[in-house]
Structure 1
Amino acid sequence: MVENSSKSRSVFNVDGVPSLGKAAPLGLQHVLAMIVGNVTPAIIIAGVVGLNSPDRTLLVQMAMFIAGIATLIQLYPIGRVGSRLPIIMGVSFAYVPSMIAIGAQHGIAGIFGAQLVGGLVAIVVGIFIKPIRKYFPPLVAGTVVFTIGLSLYPIAINYMAGGVGAATYGSFTNWGIALITLTVVLFCNQFAKGYFKLASILVGIIVGYVIAIMIGIVNFTPVAEAAWIAIPRPLHFGIEFYPSAIITMVIMYIVNSVQAVGDLSATTMGGMGREVTDEELSGGIIGNGVSSVVASFFGGLPTATYSQNVGIVAMTKVVSRFVLALAAGLILIGGFVPKFGAIMTTIPQSVLGGATITVFAIITMTGIKLIIQDELSGRNVTIVGLAVALGMGITTVPQSLELFPDWVMMVFGSSPVVIATVVVFTLNIILPKKSLADEKAEREEMEMKEG
């Protein structure tokens, strides 16, 4: 009996329920790791679609609300919905390039309509993940992640300069604040220990924010106008359906489902020392799809598993669902407090740019690490190179598609991720499989014939 009681309170057991004093700091650690990445996409999209101050606050508020709900669904499944694994969910940067393209053309309602259909597709992918998993090896998933990282760089640079359209865009003040923020992030990440290292991005934002307040470029009016408590408002932003936007988002949801395979696998292998089961993969992807469908009605943007929190689980081996449920509770509380969301929207764009460019760089390097899990044979190098070249190249020169129908521009000319995904997926299927050994044998055979 003593052994069972002890085990049930262990932070290293998935069903362990440790004391609140022990679990709370560990849960807060997860909140600190995800909070910036969770609210920043909402701030970016709010700027793109031109939301007013109250609606910007609401979009950030709903980012917290849906992240908490999505995490709880994963921790405590309902039937086949959820993985029952210790993972944190949140709004994903991976969707940002596509959402920017959709939002610029169809508005915020167009994003939520495409997200609704994308979430339904993710549910279908989750149901059939076992047979289709083989079509998305590290080479394919890595190329997609790599392209996502590259496509986010202009966003970070524009933010560092002060934000597109800002009267002070490109000023020394904006660049100075951005570079100070970046320096603090790098210092904490490389030289600090404990919470300062873990929350390096948050520390950088706080320092940059304080400096911005001191020089008088922060407007606190939205905070004063925001209420203390508010409940989510269904369909406040509306839902509209546009075929081109839906196609773009569906592709992204399929890609994100494949990325979830990697995060769920890393959680079980790193935290529990075992392979992830097909049931856990299926439940995790279905859970994300359900969360996104629900989010589309409440104004929450698309969610995904958070790799930084996966890293914490793998590093600490703390897999207690109770610990992560506390984190989800804190995140959820933020969804009911508009003043929290309002404070987030007052952070200058130069501060966000200085902090998030490191996140985008890590996304890019994660893609590279995935790619090199497969052999860098001539075949694979060709596939990756063409996918990235066409994806980045066409979207850098969008006028190259101006004679095509509008839907072609929307689907293929707005986000390099879509083109790269289609190209790498197709070429990986149709090109003959050749390893480095096969290519070496071909060269030797050619030499023998010539001799």
Structure 2
Amino acid sequence: MENTTTKHPVDEMLPGGKLFLYGLQHVLAMYAGAVAVPLIIAAAAGLTKSQTAFLINADLFTCGIATLLQTLGLWKLGIRLPVIQGVTFAAVTPMVLIAKAGGMLMIFGAVIIAGLITFLIAPFFSKLIRFFPPVVTGSVITVIGVSLLPVGVNWAAGGVGNKQYGSLTFLAVAGIVLISILLINKYFKGFIANIAVLLGLLVGMIVAVPLGLVDFSGVGTAAWIGIDTPFFFGTPVFDLGSILAMILVMLVVMVESTGDFLAIGEMVGKKIGEEDLTRGLRADGLSTMLGGIFNAFPYTAFAQNVGLVGLTGVKSRFVVATSGVILVVMGLFPKLATIIASLPNAVLGGAGIAMFGIVAASGIRTLSKVDFDKNPQNLFVVAISVGIGLIPLVAPDFFKLFPAWSQTIVHSGITLGSLTAIILNAFFNGGKSM
């Protein structure tokens, strides 16, 4: 995008129409991931249908608040980059166990305290940024992208658990979406090319409707207005074991968020410093605290939207801030959220493959800046960190005999890849990229 001002493209304010369409594009890209966690937790806690609907709307509302906080910033909070926030999947397993042991109130208590701890230790954790030179960031970004690809592939096949998984109809719809995105990028420039994903999703929706893949049945029964009230389920319960489990989750989230922040910084051409990282991690902590108060969960940067930034080239943080506004509105108007939820997995899959592949490609581009000739040991840093980072992806049961407390760490490929890259870079290069 051409920038006619002296501002960095990240700080560029676009016309209202473009802001809305670009922002909506980000919402559509992250929606399925945003509602997946509340659905899983609601099932584990045995919530009723109406309580589950409330939980989803509370999550969307808080997603929007968290995104606004991260993109616009407030005081010493927010990284002020085009980063959309969503519930971290790293917290799913511990929260399911907590829900079965003590219900939703115990989850919310643990989330509030873990968010507070994250907020307080953010300045200390951000000092790790010096251990993230290009050889580390490139490896981490590559692992993020490759780790996300199965999500897009499973969407394209109809979604995990679908009885018709892999149906040629699903694959054809996903293929049409992907081809549409590619054709739009090839034959159009500027604004049209920038909304290629949105247009591809629209084409997919048009194709999916006559095929009977779009279910609008819940729209009629959904409420028009739903207000998220603090502590809707009651007073939080603060259980020490649950709190410690959630703090461990947030340490993992901080590593993943650091990788996502550095990835988005690479894509928009803005160097991330220690102070930036502190603001971003503090925002994660405060958002997570708000999650516990407003009946939601721990929040982190959504990596799938990092790919969308790379695919479209639209770098303005105000675009994603607009996504935050849309999410807040969706959280207040359940009927609108239900309409968006009608987008079939197969349609999302076509776009997902493109977006997640872009993240991996961006990691490879970062690695192209690394000097492998003068320092061939950098090859080991990349090879081993990527290899270990992909273990949870290619062999989900590889670490099944590890202690229960470690499962959150070893099942996160991003965390494993990040820690391996940091350690190997320190070993070979003394913590620097050479």
Instruction: Compute the TM-score of the two structures, normalised by the length of structure 2.
Output: 0.78
Structure 2: runs of 5+ lacking an equivalent: none
Question: Secondary structure of the residue that 1:303 maps to in structure 2?
Answer: strand
Q: Do 1:61 and 1:335's aligned partners in 2 also have CA atoms closer than 8 Å?
A: yes
User: Compared with structure 1, are the counterparts of its residues 253 and 58 closer, same or farther at alpha carbon in structure 2 (3 Å cutoff)?
Assistant: farther
Structure 2 distance, partners of 1:252, 1:309, is: 21
User: For residues 157-236 of structure 1, what are the structure 2 equivalents within 5 Å?
Assistant: 157-235=153-231
Q: Kindly state the Cα deviation for residue 399 of structure 1 after the two structures are TM-superposed.
A: 3.8
The aligned residue for residue 424 of structure 2 is 427
The aligned residue for residue 256 of structure 2 is 255
- Larger Cα-atom Rg: 1
Match of 1:336 among 321, 332, 335: 332
Match of 2:84 among 87, 90, 98: 90
The aligned residue for residue 5 of structure 1 is none
Q: Kindly state the Cα deviation for residue 361 of structure 1 after the two structures are TM-superposed.
A: 0.7
Q: Kindly state the Cα deviation for residue 121 of structure 1 after the two structures are TM-superposed.
A: 5.2
User: Compared with structure 1, are the counterparts of its residues 144 and 311 closer, same or farther at alpha carbon in structure 2 (3 Å cutoff)?
Assistant: closer
User: For residues 29-48 of structure 1, what are the structure 2 equivalents within 5 Å?
Assistant: 29-45=21-37
User: Compared with structure 1, are the counterparts of its residues 80 and 230 closer, same or farther at alpha carbon in structure 2 (3 Å cutoff)?
Assistant: same
Question: Secondary structure of the residue that 1:146 maps to in structure 2?
Answer: helix
Structure 2 distance, partners of 1:17, 1:133, is: 26
2:350 maps to 1:354: yes
2:377 maps to 1:379: yes
Structure 2 distance, partners of 1:276, 1:421, is: 17
Structure 2 distance, partners of 1:419, 1:255, is: 10
Structure 1 distance, partners of 2:91, 2:28, is: 18
User: Compared with structure 1, are the counterparts of its residues 64 and 48 closer, same or farther at alpha carbon in structure 2 (3 Å cutoff)?
Assistant: closer
The aligned residue for residue 401 of structure 1 is 399
1:408-429, Cα deviation, whole Å (9 max, x unpaired): 44431x2322222221122222
Question: Secondary structure of the residue that 2:377 maps to in structure 1?
Answer: helix
Structure 2 distance, partners of 1:179, 1:309, is: 18
Letter in structure 1 aligned against 2:61: F
Structure 1 distance, partners of 2:127, 2:431, is: 23
Q: Do 1:126 and 1:257's aligned partners in 2 also have CA atoms closer than 8 Å?
A: no
User: For residues 54-69 of structure 1, what are the structure 2 equivalents within 5 Å?
Assistant: 58=54, 61-62=57-58, 64-69=60-65
User: Compared with structure 1, are the counterparts of its residues 348 and 402 closer, same or farther at alpha carbon in structure 2 (3 Å cutoff)?
Assistant: same
2:132 maps to 1:136: yes
State the percentage of identical aligned residues: 25
Structure 1: runs of 5+ lacking an equivalent: 1-9, 438-451
User: For residues 285-324 of structure 1, what are the structure 2 equivalents within 5 Å?
Assistant: 285-298=281-294, 299=296, 302-304=299-301, 307=306
The aligned residue for residue 388 of structure 1 is 386
1:167-194, Cα deviation, whole Å (9 max, x unpaired): 2112122112121122222222332334
1:29-61, Cα deviation, whole Å (9 max, x unpaired): 441342123313124435655757656655554
User: Compared with structure 1, are the counterparts of its residues 266 and 286 closer, same or farther at alpha carbon in structure 2 (3 Å cutoff)?
Assistant: farther
RMSD (Å), alpha carbons: 4.0
Structure 2 distance, partners of 1:17, 1:390, is: 39
Query: In terms of mean alpha carbon deviation, does 230-239 or 150-159 score higher?
Result: 230-239
Structure 2 distance, partners of 1:384, 1:111, is: 37
Query: In terms of mean alpha carbon deviation, does 51-60 or 196-205 score higher?
Result: 51-60
Structure 1 distance, partners of 2:252, 2:19, is: 33
Structure 2 distance, partners of 1:310, 1:153, is: 16
Q: Kindly state the Cα deviation for residue 303 of structure 1 after the two structures are TM-superposed.
A: 3.4
Letter in structure 1 aligned against 2:403: P
Q: Do 1:61 and 1:340's aligned partners in 2 also have CA atoms closer than 8 Å?
A: no
Structure 1 distance, partners of 2:326, 2:399, is: 46
Question: Secondary structure of the residue that 1:357 maps to in structure 2?
Answer: helix
1:164-221, Cα deviation, whole Å (9 max, x unpaired): 2222112122112121122222222332334432222222222222222212232222
Structure 2 distance, partners of 1:425, 1:17, is: 34
Q: Do 1:144 and 1:417's aligned partners in 2 also have CA atoms closer than 8 Å?
A: yes
User: Compared with structure 1, are the counterparts of its residues 394 and 173 closer, same or farther at alpha carbon in structure 2 (3 Å cutoff)?
Assistant: closer
User: Compared with structure 1, are the counterparts of its residues 190 and 289 closer, same or farther at alpha carbon in structure 2 (3 Å cutoff)?
Assistant: farther
Structure 1 distance, partners of 2:432, 2:360, is: 25
User: Compared with structure 1, are the counterparts of its residues 12 and 78 closer, same or farther at alpha carbon in structure 2 (3 Å cutoff)?
Assistant: closer
Q: Kindly state the Cα deviation for residue 358 of structure 1 after the two structures are TM-superposed.
A: 1.2
Question: Secondary structure of the residue that 1:350 maps to in structure 2?
Answer: helix
Q: Do 2:256 and 2:414's aligned partners in 1 also have CA atoms closer than 8 Å?
A: no
Q: Kindly state the Cα deviation for residue 236 of structure 1 after the two structures are TM-superposed.
A: 5.7
Question: Secondary structure of the residue that 1:378 maps to in structure 2?
Answer: coil
